[in-house]
Amino acid sequence: MENQEAKKKLSVKEFFSLGEVGGYFFRKKDPNRPSNINLTMMHGVNKISIVIFLLGVLFIILKRLL
C-alpha cells in the first residue's frame, strides 16, 4: 500500500511549483543575517543566472514547438 502512495502522480500545480526557487527570489530579508557586499553580489549573480537559464529553457521549448 505504501508503494502505491509513493508512486502517486503529481498534480499540475505541484509539478510547476516554484518551491525553493520562488522562495529564493521572494523571501523577506532576515534582520539577524549579517549584511556583506560579497554575499549580496553572490546572490545577485545567482538570481541573474537562474533567470537567464529559465529564459534559455523557454526559448528552446518555443523553438521546438514553432
How far is residue 66's CA from residue 61's CA, in Å, rounded to a whole number? Answer: 9
User: What residue numbers bound the domain in which 38 lies?
Assistant: 2-65
The predicted model scores a pTM of 0.58
Region 37-47: what's the mean pLDDT? 88
Q: Each residue of 12-26: pLDDT tens digit? A: 666 666 676 666 677
b or e along 43-66 (b: 16 or more beta carbons within 10 Å of the residue's beta carbon)? eeeeeeeeeeeeeeeeeeeeeeee
Number of structural domains (the chain) is 1
Q: Which three cell numbers stand for residue 24?
A: 529564493
Residue 61: per-residue pLDDT: 94
Instruction: Work out the pLDDT band at 32, boundaries 50, 70, 90.
Output: confident
How far is residue 62's CA from residue 66's CA, in Å, rounded to a whole number? Answer: 6
Residues near 21 by Cβ (< 8 Å), separated by ≥ 6? 50
